[in-house]
Chain A
């Protein structure tokens, strides 16, 4: 009993940090409908600002704390709301999620670039003396923990009072219930929304500054990993209840302490269960927490009814332009292949080979996001599953690598389908979070195992017979990309694609005409995972080893960001993303910028998703085609009954009242 109490008390301070982050997440979600995945990044930003003024510039603690938490953090929240999320109030959940994802990718890199490359040791806490010890009977707390407990308590009480007694609190609650009704009552919903963002950002900043002294130095990863625990606590709170978010965070902290206390420290169970507790908790909550689905069902009668997306610009242009564009595309592609085989150095050959491989992986996002309308944050993980499965089978049974690659893809597809069965119960945001939990669990729990990731050294991966030469392998990758592209196009144009379009529009309506949503979605999940697995196996062949570094969950986030920025609905978009992924670092080198700028560029690019759901390039293509169309002789122009490319400016699906245009 004494042990139990000891472990419970030891888990509370860490649980309070989870709780602070969870409360901020819930607060944002409640008042704006945005599940702010960038919350950990905001915490990191506040911690970095605090470190800079407190340690580098020698400010006293109170002004430094006030500046980072009470000034910068709310300001960042306000900026995010004014510049980005204000315009997403009526956007689809997908657009909101992708925008937050873009920030999650961009913000830590921006902060890191600002902090510079030097080490950031010596973060000082906000308590009078971080290392002072306070004894309460048998229990000892240090200054850092006292600060966490006191600040969490004060913040929660203040928040409760705000909601209960302050007019702004009442307005915030009203905006959550019904923004339109609130505005009719003369309340400026925009202003209230801005205040909510400031408040939630303040919570992120507070958590960041309280947490910073726990680390030897500041690192973005420490903050983003903690976010998973906070997401689990927020899920426990059904994304609506602040007291439950507090309780969920504390329970998770206590749970970790109990596992540490009661599991034999070197046991297999401890090895696997302890590190994965937050991910498992999140996954189980998403699947089985009863209130989660009902609590998040929108009251908006138009919710879940997306009009069919505009057809790709390529399908709307005139025949002449189509022929001309295709000829141009084939010529450029042919020239690039020819140059790769004859002129380019081995370095550039590697770049274009990997561009082809990544394009193949990115086609999996074309399928799941572009066609299925779902965001999977585990595509890098599925690529890893394909790679590890292939490498393990080749290594264990000595099978030929070429057919085994297909087996690896199949393994990824089966796991994708198995994951889809429970995950599809969730849908939308929760499906994305479920895939994130799966990706984290795979990375931290399964990959370190010998029978999965190979243990200490990466698994070797041979190339298929006859493809040892880099040029031959390049052609092989191009061939695989071509085959997968054709498959994706066939799926999009076939029955499955039509079903998925219908399901995106209205699941109920689709069901009423006999479409089985579960079967279609499982199929698309499996196909997507299989394509990613195939690409992962290719990547490992190219590198000669199945290296876990390539398949970390953070790549999964970045893959989504880069593909939706450049175009998630078309094969061309995936190929552009593959080329962009490989060539952007070269461009940055050329202009003298660090390679990490690519995360800033594409992360911020993803924010444009709400405005350009087909991707920036597709939007520009529409504009270009419209321009060209205007200058073509009349007989070559696009038919007036089809509206013409760019006739309707690309808009977020939720903003479209009446579908315009259709596929020819």
Chain B
């Protein structure tokens, strides 16, 4: 009896093993399954049969890869919140070409697994477009996305986005380390005379600091009184650096570091009673500033899109704030990029027409010279800005920290952006948009 039971159990185990192998095979092979039934029964004039990955009769599926888990605890995963908020708005108006837009995959590359997750997105998830790519430290999947030709939208913060025709960031090509006039112009506007520049002893940070230093050399509105690009990553003690800046009479401090460092620096500046403000290229974070605003009073923050505090709210900004509120989410930089990404996809789909394909969307966007997410951006010229990091007119918004809040800076009433011509000098008056 026991022997029979044992044999039965063994048989069951063999069956289970075979079943598991079969499941593995099935799971592993599901990727190449077709992108759902594409034998469309068009129910409206606009709905045409579209034989494209991720497109069904009633849905356009998209997905993305973000560093949701990251050591900075930064909310990069919120980029999907912005995408979904935009899709909610579009879907509430009937979608596009009779189809709803849907985010079907939100992959977490945990920083180190970007290539793997991009491969997964491309081969497992059956998506029409990659929307909400927020891979800040490592975008090794960029080549794969380019090879696949899939329309890709995300947060452009590294040079992997440059030169790839189907990759559309929230900004055009970047040149980290290139001297520009905007920072010296800000120092000039504020009447600052001595600049302190601090960076970590790692290449990205050093390159960024070199660019700032070169900017002041090329456009000498102020003198660089202190320069250090040798700080340990994770350092929180700036007592010596601040002491030296104080001795040098520094009144304008700019950094290429994370929020931990700029906060510690702000505290030390106050402690040593240094009369200087900070310029924060990456500090547009309401939650952070609310908690720590007292250390950044009068500091200037660069914002790559129309700030929420703008007096004139464009349609894009109004819609964005409204739909974020509906979603019950607090707007932040990541959600804004998600919204902008989704908006670009829609613009591409509209331009491509009802019989859209991935290639048509890419081609259509690449013919556009002013993609601005309904005024949420200052406008990107995709005919040139995949490669050209110095567009004819470069615009950025700036806000000043006042009582822990952001207030628009440097622009006349009703304007949001300060725009510099390609070869502008300090003597040239910027334009405002």
Interface residues of A (CB under 8 A from B): 6-7, 10-11, 13-14, 117-122, 131, 133, 140, 142, 214-222, 225-226, 256-257, 260-261, 263, 265-267, 270-272, 274-275, 335, 339, 343-348, 350-351, 354, 444-445, 448, 450, 453, 455-458, 543-545, 547, 549-550, 552, 555, 585, 594-596, 631
Q: Which B residues touch A122, using CB under 8 A?
A: 291-292
Which of A119, A267, A274, A275 is B74 in contact with, Cβ under 8 Å? A119
* B19 interface residue (CB < 8 Å to A): no
Q: Restricting to B247-262, which residues have a CB under 8 Å from any CB of A? A: 258-260, 262
The answer on a CB contact under 8 Å between A121 and B230 is no
Q: Is B282 an interface residue (CB 8 A)?
A: no
* Distance in Å: Cβ of A487 to nearest Cβ of chain B: 28
What's the Cα separation between A345 and B116 when bound, in Å?
Answer: 12
Indicate whether A142 sits within 8 Å of B112 (C-beta atoms), given known contacts A444-B232, A448-B202: no
Say whether B116 contacts A354, CB under 8 Å.
yes
- Given the complex, which residues of A lie within 8 Å of B407, measured CB to CB? none
Docked pose: A550 CA to B138 CA in angstroms: 10
CA–CA, A453 to B207, complex, Å?
15
Sample of 14 more A-B contacts, CB < 8 Å, known A270-B228, A544-B143: A6-B243, A11-B237, A271-B229, A274-B230, A274-B231, A275-B200, A339-B29, A344-B31, A347-B31, A444-B202, A444-B233, A445-B201, A595-B69, A596-B69
- A117-B68, A119-B288 known; A595 and B31 CB under 8 Å? no
Give the distance in Å from the alpha carbon of A522 to the alpha carbon of B261 in the complex. Answer: 42
Decide: A216 and B201 in contact? CB cutoff 8 A. Answer: no
Which listed residue, B112, B201, B202, B204, touches A549 by the CB 8 Å rule? B112
Q: How far is the CA of A7 from the CA of B240 in the complex (A)?
A: 7
User: Which residue of chain A lies nearest to B268 when distances are taken between CB atoms in the complex?
Assistant: A142
Rounded to whole Å, the gap between the CB of B384 and the closest CB of chain A is 22
Q: How far is the CB of A586 from chain B (nearest CB, A)?
A: 9
Contact A595 B231 (CB under 8 A): no
A596-B272 Cα distance, complex, nearest whole Å: 41
Q: Interface on B for A, CB 8 Å cutoff?
A: 6, 21, 25, 28-32, 68-69, 71-75, 77, 108, 110-113, 115-116, 119-120, 122-124, 137-138, 140, 143, 159-160, 176-177, 200-204, 206-207, 226-234, 236-237, 239-241, 243-244, 258-260, 262-264, 267, 270-273, 287-288, 291-292, 294
Contact indicator B231/A275 (Cβ below 8 Å):
yes
**Which B residues are CB-close (under 8 A) to A256?**
237
Contact of A266 among B116, B176, B227, B260 (CB under 8 A): B227
Instruction: Give 11 A-B contacts (CB < 8 Å), ordered by A residue.
Output: A122-B291, A133-B271, A217-B260, A220-B71, A266-B228, A271-B201, A346-B122, A347-B122, A347-B124, A456-B203, A547-B138
Pick the residue among A220, A275, A596 that contacts B232 (CB under 8 A): A275
What are the nearest 5 A-B pairs in CB distance? A345-B31, A265-B228, A122-B291, A260-B240, A214-B236
Are A271 and B263 in contact (CB-based, < 8 A)? no
Given contacts A119-B73, A549-B111, A458 and B140 within 8 Å (CB-CB): yes
Is B288 a contact of A257 with CB atoms below 8 Å?
no
Q: Which residue of B lies closest to A555 (CB)?
A: B112
Query: A221 to B237, alpha carbons, bound, how many Å?
Result: 16
State whether A456 and B176 are in contact (beta carbons under 8 Å apart), knowing that A335-B21, A543-B140, A595-B69 are contacts in the complex: yes
Q: When the two chains form their complex, are residues A346 and B260 in contact, meaning their CB atoms are under 8 A apart?
A: no
Chain B residue with Cβ nearest A350: B119
Separation of A117 and B25 alpha carbons in the complex (Å): 34
One of B75, B124, B204, B272 near A345 (C-beta < 8 A):
B124
Known: A133-B271, A260-B240, A266-B230. A343 touches B29 (CB 8 A): yes
B31, A448: Cβ atoms closer than 8 Å:
no
CB distance from B235 to the nearest CB of A (A): 8
A549 touches B137 (CB 8 A): yes
Q: Are A345 and B123 in contact (CB under 8 A)?
A: yes
Residue in A347, A456, A457, A545 with the greatest tally of chain B CB atoms within 10 Å: A347
* Nearest CB in chain B to that of A598: its residue: B110
Residues in B with CB closer than 8 Å to A344 are 28-29, 31
CA distance A13 to B268 in the complex (A): 13
- Shortest CB distance B297–A (Å): 13
Contact A117 B140, CB 8 Å, known A271-B201, A456-B159: no
B77 touches A117 (CB 8 A): yes
Q: Does A216 lie within 8 Å of B263, measured CB to CB? A: yes
Specify which of A219, A220, A339, A348 lies most central, judged by the most chain B CB atoms within 10 Å of its CB.
Answer: A348
Residue in contact with B159 in the complex, picked from A133, A457, A596, CB distance below 8 Å: A457
**Does B201 contact A351, Cβ atoms closer than 8 Å?**
no
Q: Which residues of B contact A121 (CB under 8 A)?
A: 287-288, 291-292
A119: which of B71, B119, B240, B287 is its contact (CB, 8 Å)?
A: B287
Whether A594 contacts B69 by the Cβ 8 Å rule is yes
A347 to B259, CA, bound (A): 36
Q: Which residues of the other chain, B, contact A351 by a CB distance below 8 angstroms? A: 116
> Which of these, A215, A271, A549, contacts B236 with CB under 8 Å?
A215
Docked Cα-Cα span, A596 to B108, in Å, equals: 10
Minimum C-beta distance from A278 to chain B (A): 8
Bound-state CA distance A131–B263 (Å) is 12
Given the contacts A117-B69, A119-B287, A596-B69, A14 and B140 also touching, CB distance less than 8 Å: no
Q: How far is the CB of A462 from chain B (nearest CB, A)?
A: 12
B66 to chain A, nearest CB (A): 11
B73 with A547: CB separation less than 8 A: no
CA distance A119 to B234 in the complex (A): 17
Q: Which single member of B113, B226, B234 contacts A265 (CB below 8 Å)?
A: B226
- CB-CB < 8 A to B75: which residues of A? 117-119
Tell me if B116 and A547 are in contact (CB < 8 A).
no
Q: Considering only CB atoms, which chain B residue lies closest to A586 in the complex?
A: B27
Max count, chain B CB within 10 A of own CB: residue among A266, A335, A444, A594: A266
* Contact call B112/A550, Cβ cutoff below 8 A: yes
Chain B residue nearest to A339 in the complex (CB): B25
Query: Of the candidates A14, A335, A347, which one forms a contact with B123 in the assembled complex, judged by CB atoms under 8 Å apart?
Result: A347
Query: How far, in angstroms, from A265 to B227 measured CA to CA in the complex?
Result: 7
A256–B180 Cα gap in the complex (Å)? 34
CA distance A218 to B72 in the complex (A): 8
Contacts of B160 in A (CB 8 A): 457
In the bound assembly, the distance between CA atoms of A497 and B296 in angstroms comes to 62
Q: Which residue of A lies closest to B207 (CB)?
A: A456
Complex CA distance for A631 and B3, rounded to whole angstroms: 10
A343 touches B25 (CB 8 A): yes
A211, B176: Cα distance in complex, Å: 33
A131 and B264 CA atoms in complex are apart in Å by 11
Contact A10 B243 (CB under 8 A): yes
- In the complex, which residue of chain A has the Cβ closest to the Cβ of B198? A265
User: CB-nearest residue of chain B relative to A141?
Assistant: B271
B230 touches A271 (CB 8 A): yes
How far apart are A43's CB and chain B's nearest CB, in angstroms?
A: 14
- Please name all residues of chain B whose beta carbon is closer than 8 Å to the beta carbon of A354 when the two chains form the complex: 116
With a cutoff of 8 Å between Cβ atoms, the chain B residues found around residue A549 in the complex are 111-112, 137-138
CB–CB A218/B73 < 8 A: yes
Q: Which residues of B contact A133 (CB under 8 A)?
A: 271
List of B residues within 8 angstroms of A226 by Cβ: 234
Who on chain B is nearest to A142 by CB? B271
Chain A residue at minimal CB-CB distance from B72:
A219
Q: Out of B28, B74, B230, name the residue touching A270 (CB < 8 Å).
A: B230
Complex Cα spacing A543 to B37, Å:
33
Across the interface, name the chain A residue whose C-beta is closest to B160: A457
Q: How far is A261 from B242 in the complex, measured between Cα atoms in Å? A: 11
- A552 to B137 CA separation, bound complex (whole angstroms): 13
Q: Is the CB of B201 within 8 A of A275?
A: yes
Q: Are A274 and B140 in contact (CB under 8 A)?
A: no
Contact status A221-B228, CB under 8 Å: no
* Nearest chain A residue, comparing its CB with the CB of B263: A216
B32 touches A543 (CB 8 A): no
**How distant is B121 from chain A, measured CB to nearest CB, in Å?**
9
A14 touches B122 (CB 8 A): no
> A residues within 8 A CB of B31?
344-348
Q: A265-B244, A343-B29, A543-B140 are in contact. Are A448 and B232 (CB under 8 A)?
A: no
CA distance A431 to B25 in the complex (A): 44
Select from chain B the residue with minimum beta-carbon distance to A268: B230
**Contact A131-B270, Cβ < 8 Å, known A274-B232, A351-B116, A543-B140:** yes
